[in-house]
Structure 1
């Protein structure tokens, strides 16, 4: 960036680093305003932050004429990954043995029902509308992923501790694990059908899933033992941040699911450490600024010029996914009635937020099937913005 000649005498340094720092400061400042607006209206602050991100995309692409992409450049991806790993680690902490004994069957019944019905609704619906098999199967698999950050933050802000709130936290803690399995199998089937390399796709999916479990165990076991032993019986914020950065970095380096690895680590720390609640409290203290960056950057990642090319597919995907989630949740609640009657029939709608994991899956699908890549990416990014704004409202509705 350069200054106009008339202002060249000013001692101003409009370098990339200074602009990046200003953007980070502006995002955090806007989050304060979003808090104020959220408290005075019915809008969740997550939806407001995503809307801010869309505004950033409009300024960047329409006003400044720049191509779509992350406004922070190479810094966007690590910020998003760290935020997601923090959320996944905290959600893993919800999977204690006591909670699994009491809620485990309910979590499995409702989550499998939502996933099964939702996947069929999206896949069959898109095929019936005439979209290509690759697009329909890929989006059906991508539809499984849920944004744990949006659900967790909305539940936490509500202060709800009833069964439905605890069940939602348990479901989103394992949803991305299901998503990885379903997506890996879908890519394997498509690869086998189209090019005969289904075996390689299946091996890649097995590594992403199995490698994440191994990494989470390798980090979680020593972390559970060390937590609270290095600083007079209490974990420090430094320990917590080191754990998150190691999980994010090593999982990216190995090509395994950072979310699943962080969930496994969180579950091990929660079940094996005497001071596990303090460990999670330390991460909660530093989590929100990273979530602000995550939600704003999710909205800013939309490519407005390509969005129109896949508008029909995007609308169909949004409606079919909402329908599938609602129907799957309704079926799951009816199947679980004998175990627990205090569940709303529309609980599946609370599982509609979708963000980083879905975008990552879309990128992988676009790389494997480049002829359908632009359509898939446009549909997923566009729908993600809608789901991130609409999802928290639906979570609040279900909790009410």
Structure 2
């Protein structure tokens, strides 16, 4: 019996040794540091380049993003290993409260020891089952359609298809060109992610949000103004509605494509309903701004209206950008509160002017 027991113990120890990976100790340090927020646990396992690139600020920014998005960290396990040139790759599944996140850890060997040279999020699998994809995409689109119906009930029953198409075309231009302008300085600085931005502190994050917001405000309102000159007010309204409908359709579709590239899309019902409201109020906002721009141009204060609306739009998008960077709930509330208040003011100002305008004249664009 003693010999059998000894053989069993030796066998178990051999299996345990084989199951252990040479970089498990580093992975454990990654886990403990992310779980506790203690960077000093991980720092000794970083190579020199990683210590410089992934300093304590960068670590804290990444951790805050992951915890706020995925919940508390519970456990981790090894999945597989690989190789890329002189680097060893190891994939570990980190189990958070809301999702299983696969991290790709990149290792280099220094004096026979494995040091961490890189850390990447490879895949995210949410624990909670989201709503069906068609519903997740359809609810924001429904928000744009409801805005169109709102204007219809306000008396604008003659839908102008050409202007809707023009608005859709303008938002397509916006979605392709505006991000290039917004991201240019960050690419020049070597900043590749939200974590890189928030790692630089509150001041840099706030300045980034202002930059993103005001580029959006001035680009979109400037583009709309260029096409609103000499437009009749009702024509201008439907260009704005087309712009809002374009966002309601194209933005969710682009998010679906992006999410599939990054590892799938999981949308909760609450998120989808917020998106529905966001697209609804945004379409109303765009309708109000285009009427206002057309009216201001006709009455000799077009440039002043352009500047004011661009600043207002920029302020709204600044709150939205800060939320996207930090997941701050206060920023989210400020975004929805501000755009709702501004939209109501715009509609109160613009709708009566568009209603009393005559119907003579024909659109040409």
TM range (shorter): under 0.3
Larger Rg: 2
TM-score, length basis structure 2: 0.26
TM-score, length basis structure 1: 0.25
When you count helix as a share of all residues, which structure comes out higher? 1
